């Protein structure tokens, strides 16, 4: 249990894992939040009519406590064709891999465990799936809020900057 060594390489890998987990969690929370948007809007309107902001705050606290599984949240999204649902479920599987399996066996010195290029290439595949799905769920949220749809250029920049943020040294 004392084989924890910090090197420049291991610090880089730890940083990549942490940033990948942040993006995976962001996707999960977006999916879970999307199905709650109509309830939030309705309760917010009711709290404005009642002039009772505490009622709205209590609703948000209760909703945060009872989030469903990511699988259920994705399954409950109505109106998506099979390809779009597949994008979300593929990302869910990648999210689960990052959250639950990615670091199995990496509790020792990274420099001896696995070549960086194999580890990073595999993680990039998972992150690409998550980013694509994150963009999809974000567009659904934007559409349900009737906000401006981002341009294709801004979406491409988001994807590139997120990949750079996670993987650049």
Count of helices and strands (H, E) across the chain: 8, 0
Contacts of residue 3, defined as CB under 8 A and 6 or more positions apart, other chains included, come to 107, 108, 109
pLDDT tens-digit readout, 76-132: 667 778 888 888 889 989 999 999 998 887 766 565 556 678 889 999 999 999 999
For residues 116 and 122, give the distance between their C-alpha atoms in angstroms, rounded to a whole number: 10
Question: What pLDDT shows up at residue 93?
Answer: 93
Judge contact between 126 and 103, C-beta under 8 A: no
Question: What pLDDT shows up at residue 35?
Answer: 72
Q: What is the pTM of this model?
A: 0.76
For residues 20 and 24, give the distance between their C-alpha atoms in angstroms, rounded to a whole number: 6
Contacts of residue 67, defined as CB under 8 A and 6 or more positions apart, other chains included, come to 32, 73
Q: Measure CA 122 to chain center.
A: 17
């Amino acid at each position: 249990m004392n084989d924890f060594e910090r090197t420049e390489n291991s610090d880089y890998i730890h940083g990549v894992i942490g940033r990948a987990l942040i993006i995976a969690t962001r996707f999960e929370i977006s999916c879970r939040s999307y199905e709650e948007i109509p309830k939030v809007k309705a309760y917010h309107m009711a709290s404005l009519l009642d002039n009772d902001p505490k009622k709205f705050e209590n609703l948000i606290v209760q909703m945060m406590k009872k989030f469903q599984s990511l699988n259920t949240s994705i399954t409950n999204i109505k109106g998506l064709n099979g390809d779009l649902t597949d994008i979300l479920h593929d990302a869910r599987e990648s999210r689960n891999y990052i959250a639950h399996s990615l670091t199995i066996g990496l509790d020792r010195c990274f420099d001896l465990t696995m070549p960086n290029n194999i580890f990073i290439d595999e993680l990039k595949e998972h992150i690409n799936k998550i980013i694509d799905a994150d963009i999809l769920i974000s567009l659904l949220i934007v559409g349900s809020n009737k906000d401006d749809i981002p341009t294709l250029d801004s979406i491409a920049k988001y994807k590139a900057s997120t990949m750079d943020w996670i993987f650049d040294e």
